[in-house]
Structure 1
Amino acid sequence: MHAASHGHGHSHDYVAANREHFDKEAHKFDAWPEVGVLTKKITATMRETHPHLFDKDTTEVLDYACGTGMVSRELVPYVKSIVGVDISGGSVESYNKRTSELGFAPEKMKAVCAELKGEEHELGGAKFDLIVCSLSYHHFASIDAITRTLASFLKPGGSLLVADRLPTEETEEKAAEDYPENVRHTVAHFNGFDEPEMRRVFEGVGLQQFQFMDGLTGTILGKDFKLFIARGVKPL
């Protein structure tokens, strides 16, 4: 059964579907030019829009749903350290192999395979100045639950930055056709998210100073779509 046929229902195990898919496909991602171009565009926009969030001496980053580390590798020159987290062991293995080849020490940049729940002991109790999640929210069954979890890993005053696609005028079913057949079972939200929904979700978990930047465009698999970057801040 494809995700398209049950919309936003939770009967489908998106975690298992994504883990299995990305374990299998991880080795292909770094050689996918469109994704590399889009990642560069998103990370550059994050830095240009929120330059004060990036400090080489102090900023500790969590890259959530980090995949093979494309976002981490773009941001690592501008921060103190990055921890990538992904549910896919194959992606994490690829991330750490590449990190090692590039000569980064684990203290600077590393990935761990985990499904975070927001519990105190996770990630050794670490908290972060900045959490980034790029082009992954559409894979999560509940963006409210995942945002609550991510907010729990922020230091007071820390920021969450989420990049994903904006909705089109299409129905969810029609938007599903933008995705290849073999990945549809991994996608929980085919038609992206708008500003009111992201504001509701961020503010619903107590994040403040909501900002929404939506002037970005990208191309994946030959399809053009519009992107946003949302920001929320954990209160001091």
Structure 2
Amino acid sequence: MIPTNSENHHQNAIEENKKHFNKDMVKLYDRHSIELSGAHYILTKLLLGFDPVNFHPKLDHSNDKDSESLGDRNLPVFGYSNKDFYVPDYENPKNSNLLFNPNKSFNVLDFACGTGLVSQLMVQNIGKNSKYVGIDISDDALELFNEKCKHLSESGYNIQSYNLDIVSENFDSSLVRENDFDVVLCTLGYHHFHDLDKVTHRLSTFLKKDGWLIIIDIHSKDLDSYKIEDFNKPKIEKQTSGSVQHIGGLPYNQIKNSFNLSGNLKNYKIYLSDSFWTYMHSGFMANHSPKHILEMLKNDLLESIKFDGSINYLIPQDYIVAAAQKV
């Protein structure tokens, strides 16, 4: 069988991501989140705070009167590592409808789990009888995942990890079964995938009836892709990675369209998170930031610090939270 253009694009994206997320890069991502940005705490906060009943359908911060980003710039990782920041108060009646709860058990599939930064936090905030499965295409990332979660496994948590390409014809369905999971989640992975429609449909097949697919990714209002060469100041690095398939993040309509085309998802909940302070290396900004942030970088309007031998810039970061339920 001759591969289709879509299959070729998918395979190219897989190879680019494998090449990009080598041992040195995954360790850099880890250090950056743990010591500087605290992104994994933000993502965990958004997941644990997901309320399928009382969701907040905000799609634009431009008219907010109080638009200051969250996070204390005077604290390490902006104070995000404080449990009071990322773990909800489950005794508060307003949190009674949260999807996740430490007294409830779930089968969770963490797609593109990376090094397990989010996974290790999530596992500790759901019932101990839960099953938590992480899958990724990077052996180097999964090696760190297993190191992080080893002590949790030894404490009785059911945590597994596999190197799998879910849309491959050679996918091993004996490792991750269809109709087996209460929740499938993906944090900061979607902008790395070429065919979002195919990935979304495939992820939905792993859900039980009424199970939830939850996607959190960088938000972008830039509907058209742009070339980094358009921003020709030297501080914006031009060696952009082919691992990023959707420059600047994802717009609302792109995710909604993938939900529509899946054929077996309902009850869409798509909204914009609060804005959070973060630090980002200019090389990451080239692929992950919207145009107006790159314009600020170009015009020397961003604060910066040096970390791990590189300059990192203080920027506000919005995330899009998209969830849908299996029919």
State the TM-score, normalizing by the size of structure 2.
0.62
2:145 corresponds to which letter in structure 1?
Y
Does structure 1 residue 203 correspond to structure 2 residue 260?
yes
CA distance in 1, matches of 2:11, 2:214: 27
Q: What does the per-residue CA deviation read over 1:58-87, in whole Å, with 9 as the maximum and x for residues that have no partner?
A: 211111000000110121122223110000
2:241 corresponding residue in structure 1: 184
8 Å CA contact retained: 1:175, 1:190: no
Residue 320 of structure 2, aligned match among 224, 228, 234: 228
2:40 corresponding residue in structure 1: 39
* Closer, same or farther: CA 174–202 of 1 in aligned 2, 3 Å: same
Matches for 1:41-56 after TM superposition, within 5 Å = 41-50=42-51, 52-56=98-102
Unpaired runs of 5+ in structure 2? 1-7, 52-96, 282-312
8 Å CA contact retained: 2:106, 2:183: yes
* Closer, same or farther: CA 145–11 of 1 in aligned 2, 3 Å: closer
CA distance in 1, matches of 2:156, 2:244: 31
8 Å CA contact retained: 2:266, 2:325: yes
8 Å CA contact retained: 1:53, 1:59: no
8 Å CA contact retained: 1:67, 1:91: yes
Q: Percent identity?
A: 24
Which fold has the larger relative contact order, with Cα–Cα distance below 8 Å and residues 6 or more apart in sequence?
1
- Compare the two structures and name the one with the higher helix fraction: 1
**Alpha-carbon deviation of 1:11?**
8.0
2:94 corresponding residue in structure 1: none
1:139 corresponding residue in structure 2: 192
Instruction: Indicate the larger mover: 148-157 or 76-85.
Output: 76-85
2:148 corresponds to which letter in structure 1?
R
Q: What does the per-residue CA deviation read over 1:16-52, in whole Å, with 9 as the maximum and x for residues that have no partner?
A: 1101221332223321137761221122122223254
Does structure 1 residue 88 correspond to structure 2 residue 138?
yes
CA distance in 2, matches of 1:234, 1:169: 29
Q: What does the per-residue CA deviation read over 1:149-185, in whole Å, with 9 as the maximum and x for residues that have no partner?
A: 1101111111011011221448522568798555521
**Alpha-carbon deviation of 1:109?**
1.7
Instruction: Indicate the larger mover: 189-198 or 25-34.
Output: 25-34
Unpaired runs of 5+ in structure 1? 1-8
**Alpha-carbon deviation of 1:55?**
3.8
